[in-house]
Chains A and B, each alone.
Chain A
Amino acid sequence: MTVIARFEVRHSQFLDEHGEIAAPLPEFARDPQNLIALYRWMVLMRAYDAKAIALQRTGQLGTFASLLGQEAVNAGVGSAMAEDDVFLMTYRENGVQMMRGVTIKELFLYWGGDERGSAFLTPRRDFPICITIAAHVTHAVGAAYAMKLRREPRVAVCALGDGATSKGDFHEGLNAAGAWTLPVVFVVTNNQWAISVPRGTQSAARTLAQKAIAAGIEGLQVDGNDVIAVRHAMDQALAKARGGGGPTLIEALTYRLSDHTTADDATRYRNPDEVAEAWKNEPLQRLRTHLTACGAWDKGKEDALLKHCNEKVQAAAQAYLDIPAPAPEQIFDHLYATLPAALQKQRAEALGE
């Protein structure tokens, strides 16, 4: 017998869980100002997350999926993408969305059960949040195909979770992206839990990154709590895709510190010791430790930032709460470019209520 193929999956980390430099920093990370910019976004995400949960708990927001613990993945992805790239997301990427121009008010509007939350004008061509798991992997393939056909130096970035890698749409999409060398980057946020099913139970694969290898595309793993590692992997994958080098899958290892959503109670299935352990590894304090060690950050700056972020999300929440519910006929508007006559009767029926 002859070995005809051999594969390896590389893991990268620049800042370890103690905030110590584990590998020579990439160029962008040598300037603390760049890292401070990322840190400011991550703190804003956390403030937003806490406000969203508070709104939900007080009956002012619908079911909300927290991104607590996943701020570094969000910031790494959001900061690396170009404005005219296209982002296809699931429901735990609100951080990327806000970095790309979606307002916090619009995000609250979305979770508040209002379609106008997906009508954001910036970024105009980003897809709406995809709730059905992995369906949007195939959308990303189509979007990337269009970009390649038109010879545009744009990239489709598709964010999904560990649970999505068990689905057929994921494999169908990856396979096609590889076959056509499409400009697409898949970011698998492996937060270790598909609601109540832990990563080890979901798949016998040693890594989720290796699922890309079967599709003939590069799969790599990064420490998803190290924003530098996420950003660096994204920079490289985006440059490769833009240059015609085809797709990449990045598995970002992180941890879902929250319940699956506000409708979930993770204590039913998750050991609190595991969560406590994961908190020691969360992404904000790691970056803060590094920035403090660089002399670029201190308690005064931290307090000012927290105050700023809390005021910002508070103002956004108030702006969201001040928006009246849409008119009833909105349920018919935009269903078709022109509402068919058959539906106009139903619209009139709804208006007569």
Chain B
Amino acid sequence: MAQITLVEAVNLALKREMGNDPSVVVLGQDVGIDGGVFRATLGLIERFGRERVIDTPLAEALIAGMSIGMAVEGLKPVAEIQFAGFAYTTLDQMLNHAGRMRHRTQGRLSCPMVLRTPCGAGIHAPEHHSESPEAMFAQIPGIRVVYPSSPRRAYGLLLAAIRDPDPVVFLEPTRLYRLFKEEVEDDGNAFALDTCFTVRDGTDVTLVSWGAMVHDTLAAADDLIEQGIAAEVIDVATLKPLDMDTILASVARTGRCVIVSEAARTCSFASEIAASLAEEGLLTLLAPVQRITGYDVVVPLPRLEKHYLPSKRRIIGAAKKALEFS
């Protein structure tokens, strides 16, 4: 078993599935000769050839739209959009076509595609390179939205996304691409696409997060335990469909919940989870649910982005505040 980074795990899953299934193709800007701007597709063109590892023209709507055409015609395209901030032009295709193809044709056609994109802030990138638009995609009926937070989960979830018979938006936390390594066995085993991961057990408060913020949430949990507070940490991982049962069961035990996400707060996915807790878990709550999120502002340029991303301090503060209620 090798210790690899998250971006290497993405690469490993792509290699694995392209080797398993000749209908899998990879497409996007610079994914071929260059191996992708983050090297997620490194070495694929050498192994699988330029017909299956496709350097597209610089046109995001085309990348999403042609993936739909390929998927309907029986291929399994895995498209890369270079940054989530460039993925907004794909919303039209994902919303109006990818998510509807199976239903519109009553199962006659389907659209088994994956739209991968690096996602989130914290890498000192230029404008439009730091967005986290998971809630916009999670609004779309007929698709799945996945946002892994570790190399092992990126590997297992990407395999699942590629094998899934329906469209999947796969958001990769740029900040974690090379932040740490984890042992990942290239065993070809996919994870379920409808299950949260409880990544740390605790009894006092439930911290719910996804993507890069899981890492900060775990760091906050480390600090909290030193202060005698045992936080349970849930990595949602698959946002749509949402495994609310795991979150509700945890909150039923702890009575307290803080939701941590780097996306702007209004109409966010954190709000969706908070609303579901209010509807289905209110009677188990001992304290108000809190959302620790990005602010409702434009994601700042690098000099100020640390003030935008939810800090460990804010997460710890929220957890302690939750414990003030009894």
Contact = CB atoms under 8 A, between A and B. Distances in A.
A169 B59 CA distance: 9
Interface in A125-176: 125, 127-128, 130, 132, 135-147, 149, 156, 168-169, 172-173, 175-176
B75 A149 contact: yes
B8 interface: no
Contacts of B159: none
A142 B79 CA distance: 12
A140 B69 contact: yes
A118 B105 CA distance: 5
B71 interface: yes
**Among B64, B65, B67, B245, which residue has the most Cβ atoms of chain A within 10 A?**
B65
B101 interface: yes
A31 B310 CA distance: 76
Interface stretch (B90-98, B118-126, B253-261): B90-98
A176 to B, nearest CB: 5
A342 B244 contact: yes
A128 B109 contact: yes
Interface stretch (B35-43, B50-58, B204-212, B263-271): B50-58
Contacts, number: 142
B74 interface: yes
Contacts of B96: 132, 135
Interface in B240-287: 241-245
A82 interface: no
Contact of A175 (B57, B68, B72, B97): B57
A179 interface: yes
Contacts of B57: 172, 175-176, 179
A139 B72 contact: yes
Contact of A141 (B69, B165, B242): B69
A335 interface: yes
A139 B52 contact: no
Contacts of A335: 102-103, 141-142
Nearest to A141: B66
B126 to A, nearest CB: 23
Given A142-B73, A336-B166, A149 B65 contact: no
Chain A, interface SS category: helix
Given A138-B68, A140-B69, A176-B66, A333 B97 contact: no
A184 B134 CA distance: 34
Nearest to B95: A132
Interface size class of A (residues with CB under 8 A): 35 or more
A116 interface: yes
Contacts of A336: 102, 142, 165-166
A120 interface: yes
A129 to B, nearest CB: 9
Given A128-B104, A141-B62, A334-B102, A146 B142 contact: no
Given A142-B71, A143-B73, A337-B110, A149 B61 contact: no
Contacts of A169: 61-62, 65
B107 interface: yes
B161 to A, nearest CB: 13
B59 A175 contact: yes
A133 to B, nearest CB: 11
Contacts of B59: 172, 175-176
B56 to A, nearest CB: 7
A125 B97 contact: no
B55 to A, nearest CB: 10
B108 interface: yes
Contacts of A144: 69
Contacts of A280: none
Interface in A301-342: 333-337, 340-342
Contacts of B141: 335
A115 B104 contact: yes
Contact of B65 (A139, A175, A342): A139
Contacts of A143: 69-70, 72-73
Interface string B220-254: 00000000000000000000011111000000000
Contacts of B105: 115, 118-119, 128, 334
B70 A145 contact: yes
B85 to A, nearest CB: 18
A147 B73 contact: yes
Given A139-B68, A140-B69, A142-B67, A119 B108 contact: yes
B151 interface: no
A138 B71 contact: no
Contact of A142 (B68, B92, B102, B103): B68
Closest 10 pairs (CB-CB, A-B): A142-B69, A138-B65, A142-B66, A340-B241, A119-B106, A139-B69, A146-B73, A172-B62, A142-B70, A337-B165
Interface of A: 86, 88, 115-116, 118-121, 124-125, 127-128, 130, 132, 135-147, 149, 156, 168-169, 172-173, 175-176, 179, 333-337, 340-343
Given A115-B106, A336-B102, 15 more contacts: A119-B105, A127-B109, A136-B97, A138-B66, A142-B69, A145-B54, A145-B69, A145-B75, A146-B70, A149-B52, A333-B106, A334-B106, A337-B165, A340-B241, A342-B242
10 contacts: A115-B103, A128-B109, A135-B65, A138-B93, A139-B68, A144-B69, A146-B70, A146-B74, A172-B57, A172-B59
Interface of B: 25, 51-52, 54, 56-57, 59, 61-62, 64-75, 77, 92-93, 96-97, 101-110, 141-142, 165-166, 194, 241-245
